[in-house]
Amino acid sequence: MLRAEVERLREVSMTDPLTGLLNYRGFHDRLQEELSRSRREHYPVSVVAIDLDSLKWINDSFGHGVGDDALRTLANSILGCVRPSDISGRLGGDEFVLALPRVQQEEAERIVGRIHEAYGMALPDHSHLDFSAGVATTAEEASDERLLHAADLAMYESKRRHQGPAAPSPARELRASSALAIGEAQRLVGTAVEIQQRLRSQQSARAQARSARAAGTGDGERFRKPEPAAGRPDTPRRPDTPRRPDTPRGPTSS
């Protein structure tokens, strides 16, 4: 009973209450698990970043209730076009994201096209509603943040083509800066490791050189007769001179 309640609370904590999709935390946890599995089994994962266009205008013009309906409708359109094994999430506001295991970029783009059609059919009276999407597919050892950043860049390029330049949302700007910071930190760590390895290699070479010099001299060096100093040939020792006997003194004159 307690275990079931804990599991229910965990699921609630990882679910977006408006759409029923995974929230930011839930999506990232699932994506990290999927990327780890894909590295072990060597299969691609495509990530799709989706941004609902003009959500602020919808909220301002028709009310937040209509905006919420548009978000829920997009979520349902997404779920109707993906597999149960795919990972769908709403990161907040107008931001949605998908992770499609074992799907290359070309197939992911076809799935985006099907979501476009489904969403347009679900909102016939609001034909001006649309979304922009970008796709990125895993490279070797790509992190979840780098993959999401690449999908965001592709999405903003798509939005620029359709609507002109668009400013990234604060959440996406934070993810982009985080991805760049992580990349820079990894580069610095790699440089530090390389320097440490070089220092260890140099220390090892010096220690080996000292050992080689010590082995070359040997213990016999301690017992070798010292060589005479240059310019000072050995001088033969003069034999002891015999002592002259004492000579008696004559009488002193008075």
> How does pLDDT run across 12-29, given as a tens digit for each residue?
899 999 999 999 999 999
Parallel/antiparallel/unpaired status of strands 131-137 and 87-92: unpaired
What residue ranges of the chain have pLDDT lower than 70? 124-128, 140-141, 162-196, 198, 216-254
Q: Is 9 within a domain?
A: yes
pLDDT at position 190: 55
Q: Is the pTM of this model over 0.75?
A: no
Alpha helices in the chain (DSSP H): 2-13, 24-41, 55-62, 64-79, 105-122, 144-163, 170-217
The C-alpha R_g of the chain, in whole angstroms, comes to: 42
Structural domain range at position 19: 2-166
| pLDDT at residue 229, rounded to an integer | 53
**CATH number (domain holding residue 105):** 3.30.70.270
Let me know if residue 135 belongs to a domain: yes
Residue 65: predicted pLDDT: 93
pLDDT confidence of residue 165: 41
Answer whether 21's CB lies under 8 Å from 96's CB.
yes
Q: Is residue 60 part of a domain?
A: yes
Confidence at residue 180, expressed as pLDDT on a 0 to 100 scale: 45
Q: Is residue 46 part of a domain?
A: yes
- What phi, psi does 147 have (nearest 5°)? -65, -45
* Number of domains observed in the structure of the chain: 1
Domain-embedded: residue 172: no
Please indicate, yes or no, if residue 108 is contained in any of the structural domains: yes
Residue 251 has what pLDDT? 55
46/30 Cα distance (integer angstroms): 14
